[in-house]
Amino acid sequence: MNKKLFLGSMLLGVALVAALAGCAQQALSSTGSAIDWNGITSVQATPKDKVKFKLTEESECDACHDSEVASAQNELCLAGIEDHQDIGCLDCHTKDKALEGAHRKLSADSKEADSLKRTEVTEQTCLNEDCHNYDEMIANIPDDKLLVDANGTTVNPHEIHNVGTSHGDIKCSDCHLTHKEGEAYQTATDKCLSCHHENVYECGTCH
């Protein structure tokens, strides 16, 4: 009798554990639908996974990139000028595999990012039919924005890609700081001096 009672108790215990496990599994599975964390859409792929976050146009980027988003309200930053008020983060920072991959690793306990390290703003982002025309920018630059070296050589910074053979990797954002305060004329001058350190633009005069 005691043996039957023992076996019955064991079977009842196993059934109870199985039932509780099933309920827990169902509860966890119910979290698989999309939820929001700091404005970032998240999806729990499986009950065992951490919550994963998906980057979308509706994401509130200031949850991590607060200084970059705040620059959109600063007229001393390129992101904050009036002509750029309707531009969103993903209009410039193209949602490519690298950017999506960096955000896919986010979870609710992730350390907040302090800078955009894995994205690039291409020339096509600025130079297109909806934004800036390259030929018009060359033609319409004010005289006081032309760069002048120590010998009086004058250079149109918007035409720099057509000068010499070593300027092809210079991007708009190298001179026009998007999220930091800075006057484009000074940053363009500093960019030139980073190579032409004697303030002489003519090649072959230093080396």
Residue 177 has pLDDT above 60, yes or no: yes
Q: Residue 152 has what pLDDT?
A: 93
Hunting for tokens 């309200």 — which residue is that?
Answer: 73
Render pLDDT for 117-153 as a digit per residue (tens, 0 to 9): 656 788 888 999 889 999 999 999 999 999 999 999 9
% the chain with pLDDT above 90: 22
Residue 116: pLDDT band by 50, 70, 90 thresholds? low
User: Widest CA span of the chain, in angstroms?
Assistant: 110
Residue 10: pLDDT band by 50, 70, 90 thresholds? low
Most confident residue range from 49-58, 65-74, 107-116, 185-194: 185-194
Residue 185: pLDDT band by 50, 70, 90 thresholds? very high
Task: Please provide the average confidence, as pLDDT, over all residues in the chain.
Answer: 74
Residue 110: pLDDT band by 50, 70, 90 thresholds? low
Q: Residue 36 has what pLDDT?
A: 43
Q: Residue 90 has what pLDDT?
A: 85
Residue 26 has pLDDT above 70, yes or no: no
Q: Residue 156 has what pLDDT?
A: 93
Query: What is the 3-class SS of the chain, one letter each residue?
Result: CHHHHHHHHHHHHHHHHHHHHHHHHHHHHHHHCCEEECCEEEECCCCCCCCEEECCCCCCHHHCCHHHHHHHHCCCCHHHCHHHCCCCHHHHCCCCHHHHHHHHCCCCCCCCCCCCCCCCCCHHHHCCCCCCCHHHHHHHCCHHHCEECCCCCEECHHHHHHCCCCCCCCCHHHHCCCCCCCCHHHHHHHHHHCCCCCCCCCCCCCC
Residue 81 has pLDDT above 80, yes or no: yes
* Lowest model confidence (mean pLDDT) among 33-42, 47-56, 115-124, 160-169: 33-42
Q: Residue 160 has what pLDDT?
A: 87
Residue 69 has pLDDT above 80, yes or no: yes
Burial of residue 179 (number of CB atoms within 10 Å: 0-12, 13-18, 19+): buried
Contact 199, 153 (CB under 8 A): no
pLDDT, mean of residues 81-96: 86
